[in-house]
C-alpha cells in the first residue's frame, strides 16, 4: 500500500532526525558543560565587548558561579538604535549610554572590568592579550594578558568600505557614539560655512549637499533625521541659505530598505520623494575625493557629484582582532566567526562568539539526512516504518528547528499529523515508506535555511541564551534536557537546546513624525501612529530608568524648544 503524501513527509522528517542528531552533535558544548571537578576554583569567564551581546550575556549570567572579567575599550553600553537621533541633536549622546560599571553594580565583586582593547586571542594558551589606552605598565604601553577557561567574544563589527578609494579619508561613519557627535558638529559646520560672506551660490550648493551612501535602515534614518532638522529648525535660523540644501541617498540595490517588506520600501521612497530627498538607486560608489563622489550605474555609466558632507553607511566589516583569530583557527575567507548552533566557535574549545562578530553556520542538513537514513534503516531495505519515522521526527523537530520551519513553509506539517494519527493503528503503523521519496521531498531544505541578521535584537537574544547555558551547565550535566533518546548515553550529545532566534519585528523611522514597522506575523504598519509605537518601544527598551528618563525628556525638549544647533 502506498501512502503518497504521508510517505514523503514522514521520510523527510525521519531523514532530518536520526542522522542529524549524531552529525550535528557537538563536543564543544559538552566540554563547556564539564563539571568543575578537576578545578576546585571557579572557572574564569572572560567577556570581550560591552555592546548588545556582551551586556545581555552579563546581565543574565549568574556571576557568583564564575570568576568573570570584562574587557572593552569603552566603559559604557550604547543604545545604537538611537544613534541617528544623536546626529542632529534630537537626543543627547549621554542620554543613550549607560556606564558599564553601573550595570555591573548589582553583581558586586563577582565581576572585574578592564577598560582596554583586546588585540590578540591566543586559543592555544587560553589567553587574551589586551592594551589599555590609558597605560598600566611602568613603560606606559598598557599591555597585559588575561587567562580564561571560557571566552565569550562579543566584539561587534566595524565599518566596511569595501576598499572603495577615498572613503576612509573623506566620509563620516555612523557606528559609534563619537561618530554621531562628529556628524552633528559637521552638519552645523556646513551651515555656518555656507553662511560666510563671499561664497558663491554654486559653492553654497556644494557645501550644503549632504550625501548618504547606503539605503539601509541606518542611512535612511539619518536622512530622515537630517531632513527634520532642516525643516523644523535650520530653516528658521539659516533662512538665507535654506534653498541651497539638498539631501541625496545613494543605494546600490533597486530599492532603499530592501531588507524590509516591499510595501515599506515603497512607502519610504514616495515619502522621501515628497520631502525632496533624492534617492539614487542602482548606483555603486566607486570613489570619493575631497569634493566629488563618483558613482557608477549600469545605464548611466560613471557620474560624479560635488558634495559638502558624505556619510558612509553601506555595510559592516570585520575587526582586525577577529580577522587575526580567524586566521589562527583556519576560518579564513570569512567575514565573521563561524559558530555552531550552540554559539561555540567551530573547532575551538571553550570559546563562544555572539552578536555581529559571529554567524551560525550549519552543516548541510541534507548530508546529515543521508546519514540519518542509513542509521535508521538497520536492515538496509531502503524503507522505514511509520513508527520509526515518527520517532526520529520527534527528535529532529526539537533539535533542528529549521527542518520544522521548512516543513511548515512547504505545508508539510499536516503530513506529520497524518503519521501521528496512523500510529496506534496496528494496520497502518507497520506500513513502510520509501526512503528516497522522503529524501527528495527534503532536498531543498538547505537552501531554505536563512542566516540570522546582524542586529541588536539577535545580539541580545544570543547573549541571553548563552548566559542561560552557562547558568545551567552543572544542572544540565545531571539532568539533561530533552527526550531521553537525545540525551541518553552518547557523550557527544548536547545538553542544551540550540539557539533559536525569535524575530520581534523592526522599525524604520522616516521623519516628519512618521515611521514604518514590520511586525511578527507579516504585519506591516506605517504612518504617524507607528511613530508613536516607535516612541513607546524605544522608551521601554532603554536599559535603565535613568536613560529612559533622559531620552524621554530629550524628546519632550525637542518638541517644545526644537533642536540645539550650537556647535560644541
Residue numbers of the site for ligand FAD (CB under 6 A)?
Answer: 48-54, 71-74, 80-81, 83-84, 117-118, 154-156, 174-175, 218, 319, 321, 355-357, 454-457, 459
Residues 255 and 226: their CA atoms lie apart, in Å, by 20
Q: How many CB atoms lie within 10 A of CB 64?
A: 10
Tell me whether residue 350 or residue 463 sits nearer to ligand FAD (CB atom): 463
Nearest alpha carbon to residue 344 among 24, 14, 15: 24
Q: Which of 360, 433, 453, 393 is nearest to 1 (CA)?
A: 433
Of 86 and 230, nearer to ligand FAD (C-beta) is 86
Nearest approach, Cβ of residue 56 and ligand FAD (Å): 8
DSSP H or E run through 515 = strand 514-519
Residue 166 is placed in which grid cell?
577615498
Name the minimum Å distance from CB 528 to ligand FAD. Answer: 19
C-beta of 80 vs 280, nearer to ligand FAD? 80
**The three three-digit cell numbers of residue 374, written as one number:** 542509513
Nearer Cβ to ligand FAD (289/361): 361
Contact of 547 with 98, CB cutoff 8 Å: yes
The residues with which 97 forms a beta bridge, in sequence order, are 78
- Whether 283 and 250 have beta carbons less than 8 Å apart is answered as yes
Q: At its nearest, how many Å lie between ligand FAD and the CB of residue 59?
A: 12
Return the number of the residue (182 or 387) whose C-beta is nearest ligand FAD.
182
Closest distance to ligand FAD from the beta carbon of 391 (Å) = 39
Nearer to ligand FAD, 175 or 344 (CB): 175
CB of 74 to ligand FAD, least distance (A): 4
118 membership: H or E segment, kind and range: strand 117-122
Of 295, 299, 301, 331, residue with least CA distance to 314: 295
Give the nearer residue to ligand FAD in terms of CB position, either 63 or 153: 153
The smaller minimum CB distance to ligand FAD, of residues 319 and 346, is found at 319
Q: Whose CA is closest to 52, among 453, 521, 520, 553?
A: 453
CB closer to ligand FAD out of 183 and 279: 183
Three-state SS sequence of 524-564 = EEEEHHHHHHHHHHHHHCCCCHHHHHHHHHHHHHHHHHCCC
Q: What is the DSSP string of 189-233?
A: HHHHHHTSTT--HHHHHHHTEEEEE--SHHHHHHHHHHHHHIIII
Query: Least distance from C-beta 355 to ligand FAD, angstroms?
Result: 2
Residue closer to ligand FAD by CB (options 48, 211) is 48
Task: State the virtual CA torsion across 476, 478, 482, 486 in degrees, nearest 10.
Answer: 110
User: Which of 63, 146 has the CB closer to ligand FAD?
Assistant: 146
Contact 396, 368 (CB under 8 A): no
Minimum CB distance to ligand FAD, residue 159 (Å) = 9
- Which residues, other chains included, contact 492 with Cβ-Cβ below 8 Å and sequence gap of 6+? 22, 25, 26, 27, 30
**Minimal distance, residue 116 CB to ligand FAD, in Å:** 7
Number of Cα atoms under 13 Å in the Cβ half of residue 184 = 23
Strands 383-385 and 432-434, by their bridges, are antiparallel
Q: At CA 548, angle to CA 542 and CA 553, rounded to 5?
A: 145
In the beta sheet, which residues pair with residue 311? 172, 212
Q: What is the largest CA-CA distance in the chain?
A: 95
**Rounded Cα distance, 529 and 539, in Å:** 15
Distance CA 565, CA 568 (A): 9
* Minimum CB distance to ligand FAD smaller for 20 or for 219: 219
Give 181 or 297: the residue with its C-beta nearer to ligand FAD.
181
Least Å distance, CB 143 to ligand FAD, is: 13
CB of 448 vs ligand FAD, minimal distance in Å: 23
Find the distance separating the first CA and the last CA of the chain, reported in whole Å: 81
Cβ at position 50, least distance to ligand FAD in Å? 4
Query: How many C-beta atoms lie closer than 10 Å to residue 189's C-beta?
Result: 14
**Smallest distance, ligand FAD to C-beta of residue 469, A:** 17
* Residue number, 196 or 504, with CB nearest to ligand FAD: 504
**CB 261, min distance to ligand FAD, A:** 16
DSSP calls for 423-476: TT-HHHHT-EEEHHHHHHHTTTHHHHPPPPPSSHHHHHHHHHHHHHHHHTHHHH
Nearer to ligand FAD, 86 or 369 (CB): 86
State the minimum distance, in angstroms, from the CB of residue 100 to ligand FAD: 8
Q: Which residue is nearest to ligand FAD (CB)?
A: 51
**Nearest distance from residue 191's CB to ligand FAD, in Å?**
22
Amino acid at each position: 500500500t502506498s501512502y503518497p503524501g504521508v510517505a514523503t513527509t514522514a521520510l523527510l522528517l525521519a531523514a532530518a532526525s536520526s542522522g542529524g542528531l549524531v552529525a550535528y552533535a557537538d563536543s564543544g558544548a559538552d566540554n563547556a558543560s564539564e563539571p568543575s571537578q578537576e578545578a576546585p576554583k571557579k572557572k574564569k569567564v572572560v567577556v570581550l565587548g560591552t555592546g548588545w551581546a556582551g551586556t545581555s550575556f552579563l546581565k543574565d549570567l549568574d556571576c557568583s558561579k564564575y570568576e568573570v572579567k570584562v574587557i572593552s575599550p569603552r566603559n559604557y553600553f550604547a543604545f545604537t538604535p538611537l544613534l541617528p537621533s544623536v546626529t542632529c541633536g534630537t537626543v543627547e549622546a549621554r542620554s543613550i549610554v549607560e556606564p558599564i560599571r553601573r550595570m555591573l553594580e548589582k553583581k558586586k565583586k563577582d565581576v572585574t572590568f578592564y577598560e582596554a582593547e583586546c588585540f590578540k586571542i591566543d586559543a592555544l594558551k587560553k589567553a587574551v592579550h589586551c592594551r589599555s589606552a590609558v597605560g598600566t605598565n611602568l613603560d606606559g604601553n598598557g599591555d597585559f594578558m588575561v587567562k580564561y577557561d571560557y571566552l565569550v567574544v562579543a566584539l561587534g563589527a566595524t565599518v566596511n568600505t569595501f576598499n572603495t578609494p577615498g572613503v576612509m579619508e573623506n566620509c563620516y561613519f555612523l557606528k559609534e557614539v563619537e561618530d554621531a557627535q562628529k556628524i552633528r558638529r559637521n552638519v552645523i559646520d556646513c551651515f555656518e560655512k555656507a553662511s560666510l560672506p563671499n561664497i558663491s551660490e554654486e559653492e553654497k550648493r556644494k557645501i550644503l549637499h549632504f550625501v548618504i551612501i547606503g539605503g539601509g535602515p541606518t542611512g535612511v534614518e539619518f536622512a530622515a533625521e537630517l531632513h527634520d532638522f532642516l525643516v523644523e529648525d535650520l530653516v528658521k535660523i539659516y533662512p538665507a541659505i535654506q534653498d541651497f540644501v539638498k539631501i541625496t541617498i545613494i543605494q546600490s540595490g533597486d530599492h532603499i530598505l530592501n531588507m524590509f517588506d516591499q510595501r515599506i520600501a515603497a512607502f519610504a521612497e514616495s515619502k522621501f520623494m515628497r520631502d525632496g530627498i533624492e534617492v539614487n538607486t542602482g548606483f555603486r560608489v566607486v570613489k570619493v575625493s575631497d569634493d566629488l563622489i563618483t558613482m557608477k550605474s549600469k545605464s548611466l555609466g560613471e557620474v560624479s557629484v560635488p558634495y559638502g558632507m558624505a556619510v558612509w553607511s553601506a555595510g559592516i566589516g570585520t575587526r582586525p582582532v577577529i580577522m587575526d583569530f580567524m586566521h589562527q583557527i583556519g576560518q579564513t575567507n570569512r567575514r565573521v566567526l563561524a559558530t555552531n548552533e550552540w554559539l561555540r566557535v567551530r573547532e575551538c574549545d571553550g570559546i563562544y562568539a555572539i552578536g555581529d562578530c559571529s554567524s551560525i553556520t550549519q552543516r548541510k542538513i541534507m548530508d546529515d539526512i543521508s546519514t540519518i537514513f542509513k542509521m535508521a534503516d538497520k536492515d538496509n531495505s531502503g524503507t522505514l516504518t511509520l513508527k520509526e519515522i515518527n520517532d526520529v521526527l520527534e527528535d529532529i523537530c526539537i533539535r533542528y528547528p529549521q527542518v520544522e520551519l521548512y516543513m511548515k513553509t512547504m505545508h508539510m506539517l499536516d503530513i506529520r499529523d497524518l503519521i501521528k494519527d496512523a500510529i496506534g493503528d496496528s494496520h497502518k503503523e507497520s506500513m513502510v515508506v520509501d526512503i528516497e521519496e522522503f529524501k527528495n521531498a527534503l532536498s531543498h531544505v538547505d537552501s531554505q535555511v536563512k542566516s540570522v541578521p546582524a542586529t541588536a535584537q539577535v545580539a541580545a537574544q544570543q547573549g541571553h541564551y548563552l548566559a542561560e547555558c552557562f547558568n545551567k551547565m552543572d544542572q544540565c550535566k545531571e539532568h539533561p534536557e530533552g527526550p531521553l533518546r537525545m540525551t541518553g548515553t552518547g557523550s557527544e550529545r548536547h545538553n542544551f537546546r540550540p539557539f533559536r532566534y525569535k524575530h520581534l519585528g523592526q522599525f524604520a523611522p522616516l521623519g516628519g513624525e512618521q515611521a514604518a514597522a514590520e511586525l511578527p506575523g507579516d504585519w506591516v504598519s506605517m504612518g504617524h501612529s507607528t511613530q508613536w509605537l516607535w516612541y513607546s518601544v524605544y522608551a521601554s527598551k532603554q536599559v535603565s530608568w535613568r536613560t529612559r528618563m533622559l531620552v524621554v525628556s530629550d524628546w519632550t525638549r525637542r518638541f517644545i524648544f526644537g533642536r540645539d544647533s550650537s556647535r560644541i
